[in-house]
Structure 1
């Protein structure tokens, strides 16, 4: 293991530049500026997740086999496939050029994709151009989302001091929880107040417009952030140093992917899978089962800062270990209860119980992975390990769960899948040392 300290401690607060006449942002403003993109990213995904059934038929003529193919590809595939690619490209840019240009770039890409979603006329109006434009919007959105998390988390960590790195990094999952709450509320109010005809013609577009309105403001705040990346020494070629970094840190990178699988599986089950499970398996109306996503998001927002603070007190590994263990212990009884008591109350209680270990594990895992990776690999490593885990869990979770239900003839089978992911992630935990109080490489 080589830890290069030549660049000085990455954890000391960044020097403010003397060139900009602007006063540097205060800490709360800086945290808000850094995390706003992560929030927007989850907001767009959650809103799209709720309205996909409305949006689909208007853009993808399902009578035409090509249209159907495009639809399935655009609805699921592209968003997921583009995430690790965006994570790698924008993460590498953030690790070489700086965190700040990367986090501003992701916002503009998001604005562009959301504008395409809002402005594209339907298939009935412009024919095949409609599904093609929608697919481009989803490609862009996936690429931007992939590039958001790594640079933003790296920046939060590098803004903090030795004693508060856990607390600072935890504002990343907090912002996502907050945005998902907002997305659920927007979706709930639109589905409950608008007649169906208005909802499908223009109502769903309103939710994306709300997302776009935040962007110019956040770009403005973000451009006042201080850069936290320490530039490399002269005379070292980037490509060779990057290759060497990967070679020196392959254990950390493997452990990061394994740890992230536990994080992604927990979040996907509670925030994305339970609302759909309630609608499909338990036959609850969508306007009701969306509340499960709301409960999960609320817990994520409320508990993340607490989990980050706790990891600064007792250590990252303890918080990760106990929250993972709680998830493993609770998941089977949770599905057993859901399948035997078909009610909204039961769904919400289950969502609430599972949301606690999910929130605790999200913040603590993010800190641990950020600290395990050296600075020149941090943004890329975070983005790529997280989105590889999301692709494994996100795009295949429904498939594996359905397959397991079929093979075992046990409706509680999705629980086995989560248990499998949890055990894999514990292997990742075993591979890394405690990082609390350690000087960052």
Structure 2
């Protein structure tokens, strides 16, 4: 009887975790396929004088969605800190699904003119608003629902879901680009992944409506420190800079790489998708392993510092291999190494950020720091890097951008070590070892 109850409890836990990570996975799936199909989206909705210009407009629309993230982080984050994590997660997945459906169904420029790019920009703004609250609420739920001995692995599932979603997006891109003729891919083939995402979202909403609430009644409704107060803004700033290194590495090495390899290095589309697929697989495996390392050793700052430092050291050599080797195997290996370094340190960094905020501000603090980092650096990385590439003609621009952002994260980590006593550390593990 006891074994049966344990099996039922484990199955229930898996179902709840699936419901939580599904929404975040769909968000990353949408972002992934948008990045992978940016070339064709640009041709459909952003007519321009050159192929490079419509690609730039398409990645610009991708970045626009990130400017709605801070608004979503504040509004949905405060909602989650007051009404509960469950309600915020249910709302965010519905909003994200609506934006995805608009992209899947919107007529092209040739049919509705300027309404086409306006609709795409509005859809990306809606997706960004939803994502702003989604990541904070889901990561917080995983953090708060886990036993202390498994908290790292439980939080790592947030990143694992992103990796699996990126894998699914890469597989979609690889399959569709391989199965369809170029003309069919440009006309309607790229819409297929967005339609799939929009159809899956209602399942996530239904499952989330039945999740247990992790926000304790004693914390619900508390305002905590004011959002403009020093006690909130100082840890928020540190958290945002910690996130910069990770978000830029993810968006450049996984999401931007297919377009970079296709446009800048003239590789076939299916080979560029192969690079993204390999990077996503390695990131997923390393993220879960990183969660295990956190649970086993607990050296959060050392793990995060090591990952950021090695990533910074590898930026230029990795892109040297990508640009000059001409060998797809070397390109895939270099990209996968960078993605693996990101995965190894991401859970420790997330745990550090979660520890900076009390429960009554945890979703808001985490979501807003994540949103600011992605808005200013991660989400705009594709547009900034593409613009700098066009202007300079230097294929090492992505490497330099990665290097600077990882150095900013290292500086934030040293600031955290220096000022730790001034922040409220809410991660109750007994010690940080």
Describe how 1:24-173 pairs up with structure 2 within 5 A.
26-62=12-48, 75-173=61-159
Q: Is the 8 A contact 1:404 1:414 kept in 2?
A: no
C-alpha distance in 2 between matches for 1:416 and 1:142:
26
Q: Does 1:353 align with 2:337?
A: yes
Deviates more, 1:181-190 or 1:323-332: 323-332
Q: Distance in 1 between matches of 2:371 and 2:227?
A: 23
**Deviation, structure 1 residue 56:** 2.7
Q: State the SS of the aligned residue for 1:349.
A: helix
For 1:37-436, what aligned pairs fall within 5 Å after superposition?
Answer: 37-62=23-48, 75-232=61-218, 238=223, 241-243=224-226, 246-315=229-298, 316-398=300-382, 401=385, 411-430=395-414, 431-432=416-417, 433=420
In structure 2, relative to structure 1, the CA distance for the partners of 1:416 and 1:50 (3 Å cut) is closer
Q: Which stretches of structure 1, 4 residues or more, deviate above 6 A after TM superposition?
A: 402-410
Q: How far does residue 233 in structure 1 lie from its aligned partner after superposition?
A: 6.5
Q: Is 398-407 or 99-108 further displaced after alignment? A: 398-407
Is the 2:66–2:128 contact (alpha carbons within 8 Å) kept by the matching residues of 1?
yes
Q: Post-superposition shift, 1:71?
A: 5.1
State which drifts further: 194-203 or 293-302. 194-203
Q: Deviations over 1:124-149 (max 9, x none)?
A: 33344333332222221111122210
Unaligned runs of 5+ residues in structure 1 are 1-22
Contact 1:194 1:203 in 2 (8 A): yes
CA drift at 1:27: 1.6
Matches of 1:73 and 1:341 in 2, distance apart? 27
Distance in 1 between residues matched to 2:97 and 2:431, nearest whole Å: 37
SS state of the match for residue 26, structure 1?
helix
> Are 1:52 and 1:75, in contact at CA under 8 Å, matched by a contact in 2?
no
Write out per-residue CA displacement over residues 177-200 of structure 1, whole angstroms, 9 at most, x where no aligned residue: 001100110111111101223222
Moved more, 135-144 or 400-409: 400-409
| Separation (CA, whole Å) in 2 of partners of 1:211 and 1:112 | 10
Q: CA deviation at 1:53?
A: 2.0
Between stretches 312-321 and 405-414, larger displacement belongs to: 405-414
Query: Which whole-Å CA distance do the structure 1 matches of 2:389 and 2:114 have between them?
Result: 38
Residue 355 of structure 2 aligns to a residue whose secondary structure is helix
Return closer, same or farther for 1:122/1:167 CA change in 2, 3 Å cut-off. same
Moved more, 424-433 or 255-264: 424-433
State the secondary structure of the residue aligned to 2:44. helix
- Contact residue 74 and residue 135 of structure 1 kept, 8 A: no
C-alpha deviations, 1:288-317, integer Å up to 9, x for none?
A: 111111111111221212111111121222
1-side partners of 2:181 and 2:270: how far apart? 13
Q: Cα 1:220–1:290, aligned 2, differ >3 Å: closer, same or farther?
A: same
CA distance in 1, matches of 2:94, 2:326: 44
Are 2:244 and 2:378, in contact at CA under 8 Å, matched by a contact in 1? no
Contact 1:123–1:130 (CA under 8 A) maintained in structure 2: yes
SS in 1 for 2:21: helix
Scaled by the length of structure 2, what TM-score is found?
0.86
Query: What is the deviation of 1:51?
Result: 1.5
Q: Distance in 2 between matches of 1:97 and 1:356?
A: 37
Deviation at 1:398? Answer: 4.7
Q: Which residue of 1 aligns with 2:3?
A: none
Q: Say if 1:436 and 1:301 are closer, same or farther in 2 by CA, change over 3 A.
A: farther
C-alpha RMSD of matched pairs (Å): 3.0
Shift of 1:151: 0.4
State the match for 1:7 in structure 2. Answer: none
Residues 278 and 347, structure 1, Cα contact 8 Å, conserved in 2: no
